[in-house]
Amino acid sequence: MADAGPLVPLTVAVPLATAAVLTATARWIPRRAHDLAALGAATAVTVLAVVLVLDTRDAPVVYWFGGWRPVHGTVLGIAFVVEPFGAALAALAGLLTVAALVLSWRHADEVGHLYHALVLALLAGMAGFALSADLFNIFVWLELMSVAAYALCGYQVRRAGVVQGAVNFAVLNTIGSLTLLLGIALVYGRTGALNLAQIGESLRGAPPGGPAVVGFTFITAGLLVKAGAVPFHFWMADAYTVVPAPVGALFAGIMSDLGYHAFVRIYWDGFAEAFAGHREAVRDGLLGVAVATIAVGAVMALLEADLKRQLAFATVAHGGVVLAGIALLTPRGLGGATLFVITDGLLKAALFLLLGSLVQWLRGSDELLLHGRGRRRGAVLPGLVLLACALGFALLPPFGPFLSTALVGDAGGGDRLTVVVVAGAAATGAVFLRSAARVFLGWGPRTDPVLTREPAMPEEGEPAPEPGDAWRRPAHRLVVLTPPLVLVLVAYGLSFVPGIADWFTQVAQSVQRPRPNAAHVLSGRTPAPPPAPAPYAPGGAAWLGGATATVGAVLLAATSMWWQRVWAPLRRALLVPARVVKAVHDGSMGDYALWFVTGLAALGAGWGLTLR
């Protein structure tokens, strides 16, 4: 295959240039030209990223902007280091952007040229964030991604609820960005470097020291805010509730999980060898955050009635699974985590796109409000898509995320992590099984005191509802259901690609080799590919875990739907912890900031005492 290095900058240049052209020519070209140009740019990014995945199978591609290569190991320029994981996430971002833009076509009166420019800027930010190998450049791409996301979250700015959700999103993420920037400054002060490979070389062979440890802690906390890990997750439900569905598909499907990917690159390229003697401390700290993230996200999803808020907290819980795989610091764990990001991201994006259509069709997003409204003509296919997403979240063997969680569970080497992952999967799958049963079958009561109710009105972040007969037109249903259906089919089918688990494990091995990777970046010495791992097939424990999660999701969905039939004193007792957990997520910015400080202090105290 020809060298794909010259294609690397096009992954960010194409969407940025297209966004600039669309903004400059908005008055002179028709609306459909904007649609086609944006769709073409997103498709081009997807194709370019797939080419880069194929071209980096044997070794990463290092692209130095302006030809500013290192001199005697000293870096002055800015580089993209493209390895298969980063390129695959850029491809996922491009694919989800294509799906989002296709669904946006039907909002002709609500979507203007600025929308297309912002979506393309978001795509460029995500691609640059996934490929960058320079700490400050990572921050720059993160800020481009964040600013575009803030604007898109508040796109329906005339609605008060949208403004509140967007402000909460922007404030908390800005706090995370400033924390990340402070960490970068401390690391730069300690090493005099911003390139991750040079940072790794500077820290190798000597105790990292206080500034490096504190800087690493701040960087981790800043990225965990972007990823929505507990206790840095409070912005997600507020933002997901008001964001337009096509943009929400990008938020849930890829944007949040990119924070975890950035941590992987920063840790392994910059800090892995400096903390080699303290791997258990790094692992235990991250696993603690991962378990809390799975538990809180799953419980809060069960306590919500609004479909978008349910998906927001499910995204939190699933991010905990990704972090757990990363925290194990093994190739199989990292490979499983990255495969989970892709398969689970496709399902979450599909579900968000479907929810946007349901809001338009059924005039609401609250499962109690929508009780039985889906029992009408044309409801079979959307009901099946919702069911497929729910079963995918519940790890239905052998489809979708099942294979990736099997890798994570086997990498954990014990039963406790597997139990947590299975329980979280059962809970998040149960949430959407319950919603599907209520909305499309009319099962269960119309009221539930344990669920947080939303106003009896369509979602504020979506365009005005379409005429009631629009859904009955086959052409309309084809447009709105094709993107989520395609994403679900791709997510379900990835597990059947021959050798996919082995390939992800082998790529993870190459990522977790800081010295050869640093030599490649700083001196141009191409590393030898890692040895092929032993062929992997899920064992009996993995199949049992998947089956348990699926059956548990069905039972938990039924229980959460009809729990009010239990003994009255027990029913009252269940309400108390539910109210306590929900009170923490009360929408108060001051409380959210306090939880951020608490999480940062806990992480800093733990690592400050163990990593020095």
**Helix 235-242 and helix 307-327: axis angle, to 10°?**
140
Closest CA to 609 of 246, 284, 186: 284
For 572, other C-beta atoms within 10 Å of its C-beta total 10
Low-confidence ranges of the chain (pLDDT < 70): 1-4, 106-113, 157-161, 413-414, 453-476, 567-568, 570-571, 587
Distance, in Å, from the CA atom of 199 to the CA atom of 14, rounded to the nearest integer, reads 30
Distance, in Å, from the CA atom of 518 to the CA atom of 256, rounded to the nearest integer, reads 27
Residue range 30-71, pLDDT digits in tens: 777 888 999 999 999 999 999 999 999 888 899 999 889 988
pLDDT confidence of residue 458:
46
pLDDT confidence of residue 1:
43
Longest dimension (CA), the chain: 74
Residue 78 CB contacts under 8 Å (≥ 6 apart), including other chains? 64, 65, 68, 132, 134, 137
Q: Say if residues 387 and 436 touch (Cβ distance below 8 Å).
A: yes
Q: Say if residues 128 and 214 touch (Cβ distance below 8 Å).
A: no
| Domain spans, the chain | 11-524+536-610
DSSP of 135-162, one letter per residue?
HHHHHHHHHHHHHHHHHHHTSSTTSHHH
pLDDT confidence of residue 112:
64
In the three-class reduction of DSSP (H, G, I as helix; E, B as strand; rest coil), residue 329 is classed as coil
Phi, psi of 36, deg, nearest 5: -65, -40
CA count, 13 A, side-chain hemisphere, 394: 26
pTM above 0.85, yes or no: yes
CA-based R_g, the chain, Å: 23
pLDDT confidence of residue 108:
44
In the three-class reduction of DSSP (H, G, I as helix; E, B as strand; rest coil), residue 82 is classed as strand
Q: How many whole angstroms from its chain centre is CA 6?
A: 28
Q: Say if residues 49 and 94 touch (Cβ distance below 8 Å).
A: yes
pLDDT confidence of residue 456:
47
pLDDT confidence of residue 492:
96
Place of tokens 């706090």: 175
pLDDT confidence of residue 223:
96
Residue 21 token pair = 């052209």
Distance, in Å, from the CA atom of 253 to the CA atom of 245, rounded to the nearest integer, reads 12
Closest CA to 271 of 183, 202, 326: 202
pLDDT confidence of residue 471:
60
pLDDT confidence of residue 105:
77
pLDDT confidence of residue 451:
83
pLDDT confidence of residue 478:
75
For 260, other C-beta atoms within 10 Å of its C-beta total 23
Distance, in Å, from the CA atom of 145 to the CA atom of 531, rounded to the nearest integer, reads 36
